[in-house]
Structure 1
Amino acid sequence: MSRFDKVINRKQTDSVKWDYTKKIFGVENVLPMWVADMDFSVPEEVTAALHSRVDHGIFGYTMPGTNMEKAVQSWLKKRHSWEIDTQTITYSPGIVTAISLAIHAFTSHDEKIVVQPPVYYPFFEIAQKHEREVLFNKLILNEDFRYEIDYDDLEAKLSDEKTKLFILCNPHNPSGRVWSREELTKIGDLCIKHNVTIISDDIHSDLLLFGNSYTPIASIREDIAKQTVTCIAPSKTFNLAGLQASLVLIPNDSLKRRYHDVQQLFGLLSINTLGADAMEAAYSYGERWLDELLPYLEENVVIIEDYLKEHLPEVKVMRPEATYLVWLDARSLNKTDKELQELLLKKGKVALHIGSKFWENGEGFLRMNIACPKSTIIEGMERLVTALKA
């Protein structure tokens, strides 16, 4: 039996995923398979590090130190063959926070930002809240049911003299697509050509499935690195989202100064003590745990593929190359997203993210979180099929 088969009761822990379905979806007693956190306990070494800090009993001001920087540097080199200078590291409570600060630092009110929908919705929602115009470079579904980039459209949008920022998602959320070195090089070249800064959200980069490999866009060439701000975190990898600890890597000194000025403006200069301890422990000692997790996630993907093939073949599965998110294509059912959501919540008693949340070209899709025990996966599939067959 795998450690990940253990079912842990998360109710009455103020879990957004498990305790707030009434507030978020308007219904109670549904199986939550929507928000991107895991139903797995963290590595024992992370728990031990937190216990050690709590047992110490003092929680004064702290700053991540040399040990943290070395842990991050070693992790990126070993897992992704990416050698970074520790001087490029800065910290953020979360990647959404980091992207918001970057938008404030690198754009002004009359300037534009490019995103690639269907994509993680805070990208365009935060940009719009900053009163920036968002340009949508829609991803294209090819004949192999895989997303590709429309480079002609991308260049048209990057060439707009008011476009100053491009937000990349690698690996891509919600599809799980891992962009290749060739694809990323094309993006980097275009952004350099048109002097557009790249914000690369790489939070899912450790969750590689089915033999796929990840290339950080900033690792390709020095000139692309100088154009790029990379956001990473242990939060998805090790289920630490609630501890609010992320990293921002900025090799360009000028960009780093501008980003730091905005950090000072909003008083967001570091991360909390427990988050720092968990991050250092995860990157230092969490590799064995992660290596056990990844094949478990692959097995969950296969369960979903086989179940739908047998019981509801009209719904197609986009096999993720990374992440613990599965993008389901329910367009053949000819239902609106509102109708799909109502069926899922009322007939199936299961909560998923509807595709239009990730912008209009996601309509008819569903995003399912599969980072849960196999028993939950099977129950979720039973509920999903019950709902959509209705």
Structure 2
Amino acid sequence: MGIFDLQHNRKNTRSVKWDMLKPMFQTEDVLPMWVADMDFKAPEQVNQALIERAQHGIYGYTVIDDEVKNSILKWLSQRHQWNIKQQWLSFSPGVVTSLHMAVQAFTEPGDKIIIQTPVYTPFYKVIESHQREIVKNPLIYKNNYYQIDFADFEEKLKQGVKAFILCSPHNPVGRVWKKDELTELARLCMKHNVLIISDEIHGDLTFPGEVHIPIASLSEEVAEQTITCMSPSKTFNLAGLQASYVVTSNKEKRELLDAQFAKQGVNMLNTMGNTALEAAYTHGESWLDELRHLLKNHQTYVKEMFEEHTPELKVIDSEGTYLLWIDCSALKLDHKELKSFMIKKARVGLNTGVDYGQEGDTFMRINIACPRATLEEGVQRIISAVKNR
């Protein structure tokens, strides 16, 4: 039995995924396959590094030193062929925090910010909570696949958009954007002087054969126009340790961003997050490669099972992340009925597609980062519920 086959009891650990079922689904009788964390232990080297740090027993203020920074530089160079400099780094508790900071640092109330819908739910709040205006560039959904509507994107940019929040790879549709797609997005943003704020938290989680390209790595000119938000938290299941970073090559932009972090009093990592980040990036490569193969196998399993037993459900063709986007439109249910069906009939806790925008009205998002036995149980529950409607 492999490390990813082991089932761990996460109940009563203050887990959002497992201990918040009643408030989220109004029942405890669902299998949680929703919020984006994994039911896998972090790499053993990360756990050992945390244990050793805990055994020291003193948790005073912690510096983000050259070793930590160099682990990031080495990781980005080896995994993504992106060579950055130490001084380009800023640190943050999380990518969503960084998005809030970037919106405040580089835009003003009333400014327009463009997003590609359906998209990660916090993007909406990041814009609206600071009195900025959301501009939507809906992705084109065709033949079970999503693509970018570049004509619409440019038309929207012409309306005075100040910033673009890019989701790369895309959550929830699972697209790993190709070089030509990123190049065209960057070209249009530079043409219309639109800042790119790129959320690349899923960048390490591509399926074998797929390549994540940081948009800022395309050229120095693109890098000057880009704020890149990254973290090992999704990659290695470290979200609760709150450690992320921002890469900004443009000195003026970086100073504005750092000033915003300082203004909010958010400019250091906690001791354990610091430790975990370095250990993960230093020792986690083989663990990650095994995980990527497992996730691809899980995606294939779900897709094939639905195709064989419940063709009413279509798994969108994705290229990365551990989140699958499922088209349930053939069930002829509205989003409230669909949510109720999955909870009460299938007894699985999924994310409701409409939460990612109106384009997700007839979709559900399922988290496949779990042991195979858990995945099979969830899939069988859904199949049984659909067959017995």
Matches within 5 A, 1:301-380: 301-380=299-378
Tell me how far apart the structure 2 counterparts of residues 157 and 167 of structure 1 sit (CA, whole Å): 14
1:380 corresponds to which letter in structure 2?
G
Matches within 5 A, 1:180-329: 180-329=178-327
TM-score of the pair, normalised by structure 2? 0.98
The alpha-carbon deviation at position 320 of structure 1 amounts to 2.0
Post-superposition Cα deviations, 1:58-78, rounded to whole Å, max 9, x if no partner, equal: 111112110011111111111
Residue of structure 2 in register with 1:158 after alignment: 157
1:156 corresponds to which letter in structure 2?
E
1:51 corresponds to which letter in structure 2?
I
Post-superposition Cα deviations, 1:214-234, rounded to whole Å, max 9, x if no partner, equal: 111000011110000001100
Instruction: State the SS of the aligned residue for 1:388.
Output: helix
The alpha-carbon deviation at position 124 of structure 1 amounts to 1.3
Instruction: State the SS of the aligned residue for 1:345.
Output: helix
Instruction: State the SS of the aligned residue for 1:167.
Output: strand
The alpha-carbon deviation at position 130 of structure 1 amounts to 1.1
1:106 maps onto 2:77 in alignment: no
- Assess if the C-alpha contact under 8 Å between 2:322 and 2:367 holds in 1: yes
- Assess if the C-alpha contact under 8 Å between 1:343 and 1:388 holds in 2: no
Post-superposition Cα deviations, 1:250-281, rounded to whole Å, max 9, x if no partner, equal: 11111111111111110001110100100000
Identity of paired residues, percent? 47
Instruction: State the SS of the aligned residue for 1:357.
Output: helix
Tell me how far apart the structure 2 counterparts of residues 118 and 40 of structure 1 sit (CA, whole Å): 27
TM-score of the pair, normalised by structure 1? 0.98
Instruction: State the SS of the aligned residue for 1:267.
Output: coil
The alpha-carbon deviation at position 386 of structure 1 amounts to 2.7
1:61 maps onto 2:41 in alignment: no
Aligned residues: 388
Tell me how far apart the structure 2 counterparts of residues 157 and 121 of structure 1 sit (CA, whole Å): 21
Residue of structure 1 in register with 2:146 after alignment: 147
The alpha-carbon deviation at position 139 of structure 1 amounts to 0.3
Tell me how far apart the structure 1 counterparts of residues 355 and 338 of structure 2 sit (CA, whole Å): 13
The alpha-carbon deviation at position 142 of structure 1 amounts to 2.6
The alpha-carbon deviation at position 284 of structure 1 amounts to 0.3
Among 167, 173, 178, the residue aligned to 2:176:
178
Structure 2 gap segments, 5+ residues each: none
Matches within 5 A, 1:40-79: 40-79=40-79
Instruction: State the SS of the aligned residue for 2:105.
Output: helix
Instruction: State the SS of the aligned residue for 1:300.
Output: helix
RMSD: 1.0
1:150 corresponds to which letter in structure 2?
D
Residue of structure 1 in register with 2:3 after alignment: 3
The alpha-carbon deviation at position 168 of structure 1 amounts to 0.2
- Assess if the C-alpha contact under 8 Å between 2:145 and 2:318 holds in 1: no
Residue of structure 1 in register with 2:385 after alignment: 387
1:153 corresponds to which letter in structure 2?
D
Instruction: State the SS of the aligned residue for 1:71.
Output: helix
Tell me how far apart the structure 2 counterparts of residues 320 and 153 of structure 1 sit (CA, whole Å): 23
Post-superposition Cα deviations, 1:140-161, rounded to whole Å, max 9, x if no partner, equal: 0133x21111111111111223
Tell me how far apart the structure 2 counterparts of residues 343 and 210 of structure 1 sit (CA, whole Å): 34
The alpha-carbon deviation at position 375 of structure 1 amounts to 0.3
Post-superposition Cα deviations, 1:202-250, rounded to whole Å, max 9, x if no partner, equal: 0011111041111110000111100000011000100000000001001
Tell me how far apart the structure 2 counterparts of residues 158 and 85 of structure 1 sit (CA, whole Å): 31
1:175 corresponds to which letter in structure 2?
V
- Assess if the C-alpha contact under 8 Å between 1:353 and 1:368 holds in 2: yes
Tell me how far apart the structure 1 counterparts of residues 57 and 146 of structure 2 sit (CA, whole Å): 50
1:205 corresponds to which letter in structure 2?
G
The alpha-carbon deviation at position 182 of structure 1 amounts to 0.7
- Assess if the C-alpha contact under 8 Å between 2:113 and 2:164 holds in 1: yes
- Assess if the C-alpha contact under 8 Å between 1:21 and 1:30 holds in 2: yes
Structure 1 gap segments, 5+ residues each: none
The alpha-carbon deviation at position 173 of structure 1 amounts to 0.3
The alpha-carbon deviation at position 352 of structure 1 amounts to 0.5
The alpha-carbon deviation at position 297 of structure 1 amounts to 1.1
- Assess if the C-alpha contact under 8 Å between 1:31 and 1:350 holds in 2: yes
Post-superposition Cα deviations, 1:111-166, rounded to whole Å, max 9, x if no partner, equal: 110000010010112211111110000000133x21111111111111223x2110
The alpha-carbon deviation at position 388 of structure 1 amounts to 3.0
Instruction: State the SS of the aligned residue for 2:169.
Output: coil
Tell me how far apart the structure 1 counterparts of residues 187 and 226 of structure 2 sit (CA, whole Å): 12
- Assess if the C-alpha contact under 8 Å between 2:110 and 2:132 holds in 1: yes
The alpha-carbon deviation at position 86 of structure 1 amounts to 1.4
Post-superposition Cα deviations, 1:158-203, rounded to whole Å, max 9, x if no partner, equal: 1223x21100011000011011111111111111111111010000
- Assess if the C-alpha contact under 8 Å between 1:318 and 1:329 holds in 2: yes
Instruction: State the SS of the aligned residue for 1:42.
Output: coil
Instruction: State the SS of the aligned residue for 1:290.
Output: helix
Tell me how far apart the structure 2 counterparts of residues 385 and 129 of structure 1 sit (CA, whole Å): 39
2:149 corresponds to which letter in structure 1?
D
Runs of 4+ in 1 over 6 A off after TM superposition: none
The alpha-carbon deviation at position 29 of structure 1 amounts to 2.3
